[in-house]
Chain A
Amino acid sequence: MSQGVQVASIYVRDHDEALAFYVEKLGFKVHTDVKNGDFRWLTVQHPEQPSFQLGLFVPGPPMVDAATAQTVKEVVAKGAMPPLVLEVSDCRAAHDRMKARGVEFTQEPTERYGTVDAGFRDPSGNGWKMIQTRGK
């Protein structure tokens, strides 16, 4: 595919912490990690989704002023950012694997409507739903 969404980003409180979480605990890969002064462009990628990158942004100057950055950090830490959804082939197995690695689950795998879903958060407070592919 040559057209489509290439990067969508989330705010995180710390780049290294977020990188460790998405790579070591969730199994994502680093796509780009470049620094330019204080600015760091960091994107990760699901290993089975090469056309999409998840950007990990720490809010702060010069992109946003310090007061705005503080507000954004509060909003993220309150879990007020919209949910992200991760599709997996086996929700319970993914849950067990991730939980063993220390992922903070907010909802244990629950079977409903012919599929299984669970919920977890990244260290910053971003909420994920993990939904099993239907018909598996």
Chain B
Amino acid sequence: MSQDPELLRRLLRAKDRMDGASHEEWPVRRLARVSGVSEAHFARSFKDAFGVPPHRYLLTRRIEKATTLLRETDLPITDIAFQTGWQSLGTFGRTFRDVTGESPGDFRAREKAAQHAPDQVPVCILSAAQRPDLTIAVSEKRRQTGGDTNESEESEVP
């Protein structure tokens, strides 16, 4: 579907702002203001442009950031959860497992054991390339894998 490039450029600005501060809260009102569009239009326009709803996009950025911190620092997992924007350790752990398929602790142990020396690739680009490809909602993913049925506190609104 065709979208106005001027609008897309402004939607990209909202995406960039989430990228730059994914630990912050990004209600639709705030994102719509960045893009200069109405709240009613924002979520739909964003999804049309980038293929995922804005909130799910934010989730992938938070998980990406958390995986980087788990891999490259010795910060306690609780600190990582709060630094990357989650309100509780439980929500973080559950969402992380739903998205990546393993717990933050298991992920860290496995990554630390593996060899990593890709320092010829700019790290910011490498990090983006390893972002989870979340093509379905976390709740849907959870249903499909038959995992626990607790509803995530990270509801997909917007």
Contacts and interface: CB of A to CB of B under 8 A. Distances in A.
B15 A129 contact: no
B20 A107 contact: yes
B6 to A, nearest CB: 7
Contact of A107 (B8, B12, B13, B19): B19
Nearest to B50: A78
A78 B124 CA distance: 18
Given A106-B16, A107-B19, A77 B2 contact: no
A74 B12 contact: no
B147 interface: no
Contacts of B5: 13, 70, 73-74, 76-77
Contacts of B50: 78
Given A106-B19, A106-B20, A107-B20, A77 B123 contact: no
Nearest to A114: B119
A19 interface: no
Q: How large is the interface on A (under 10, 10 to 19, 20 to 34, 35 or more residues)?
A: 20 to 34
Contact of B125 (A13, A112, A129): A129
A98 to B, nearest CB: 16
B30 interface: no
Contact of A119 (B13, B49, B124): B124
A123 B5 CA distance: 12
B3 interface: yes
Interface string A90-120: 0000000000000010111000110001010
A75 B6 CA distance: 11
Interface in B46-76: 49-50
A103 to B, nearest CB: 13
Contact of A121 (B16, B49, B122, B124): B16
A85 interface: yes
A79 interface: yes
Given A13-B5, A74-B5, A124-B9, A79 B125 contact: no
B12 A78 contact: yes
13 contacts: A13-B5, A70-B2, A77-B6, A77-B8, A77-B12, A79-B12, A106-B20, A107-B19, A117-B123, A117-B124, A119-B124, A121-B12, A129-B125
